[in-house]
Homo-oligomer: A and B are copies of this chain.
């Protein structure tokens, strides 16, 4: 059997595990609701149990190591989960040490957005590019930067906290306490909030009908806009404007070859893309205007595949990653993930 990695994607809601082989193929997948309020020992116990399930399914697997994507802030080099807001009782947990001692295998840790960025870069929308900024737009906004074959880490692995980049002086206060964070105006949460404020329960609007007269989510706005609803289209325009301002900043700051947009709101990428591009072309300096902006391809598998890549393709910390090759496995992966149309340009 080919070399495989155990990969985990540790979310505040769901803990997912997989066996990923060196072609990027997920050969087994398990998950469990994260015991997010039970503290780190309980969750690490879940990781160990899920690993057991995966290895029971594939007893012949030659496991090269364990890659874990976890919520930040975390220190990928020291292997420490610092203080994730979505996991109670995790404070400076030395996850690499703990799992390494338990399994006797190499363990690598990466922030979840960086892991997803790596997955997309190696096997998804970023295949073949030298540098890439991955932006995940859902409840919040996160990101990861791959440049010259490395995740761009910065001090303590804390770079690319793009959700808390100030882009305006207006809007609701961000949970972080500042006003004007990219996340506070452009996340799916912000879009849903604007839709909710624009309508009222029982007003008969499509937005309220889709939400059964409750709070409107970004998904409802996308669905209503797709059905041709005028108010939803206006909301999508405003959302694209904020995304365009933020993406323009990312072009000026990181000068990537490519921006990849993932997260829940990528479901509406085709609706958002024309206005995002118009804003970028209006605001970016000329040398940056032709950089493609495309939707993610790996959906919710990006983090798992990226976590596996920490073991399967990255060497020493800081060593350049091997570039993706267009072999059969890659093509399989792309098909499996259901590549969406990259409606940019």
Binding site for B on A (CB under 8 A): 73, 82, 130-131, 147-148, 150, 152-162, 164-170, 176-178, 180, 245, 248-249, 252-257, 282-283, 285, 287-288, 291, 318
A257 to B248 Cα, complex, angstroms:
25
Selected contact of A166 from candidates B152, B164, B170, B245, CB within 8 Å: B245
**A288 in contact with B252 given A180-B168, A283-B177 (CB within 8 Å):** no
A158 to B253 Cα, complex, angstroms:
8
A169 to B257 Cα, complex, angstroms:
27
Selected contact of A167 from candidates B147, B166, B287, CB within 8 Å: B166
Task: Report chain B residues within 8 Å CB of A318.
Answer: 148
Selected contact of A82 from candidates B168, B282, B287, CB within 8 Å: B287
Number of identical monomers bound together in the oligomeric complex: 2
Task: Report chain B residues within 8 Å CB of A288.
Answer: 158, 161
Contact B291 A155 (CB under 8 A): yes
Contact A155 B257 (CB under 8 A): yes
A160 to chain B, nearest CB (A): 7
Task: Report chain B residues within 8 Å CB of A153.
Answer: 148, 255
Selected contact of A161 from candidates B130, B150, B285, CB within 8 Å: B285
Task: Report chain B residues within 8 Å CB of A291.
Answer: 155
Task: Report chain B residues within 8 Å CB of A169.
Answer: 168-170
Contact B154 A255 (CB under 8 A): yes
Contact A155 B283 (CB under 8 A): no
Task: Report chain B residues within 8 Å CB of A166.
Answer: 167-168, 245, 248-249, 283
A255 to B178 Cα, complex, angstroms:
18
Task: Report chain B residues within 8 Å CB of A245.
Answer: 166
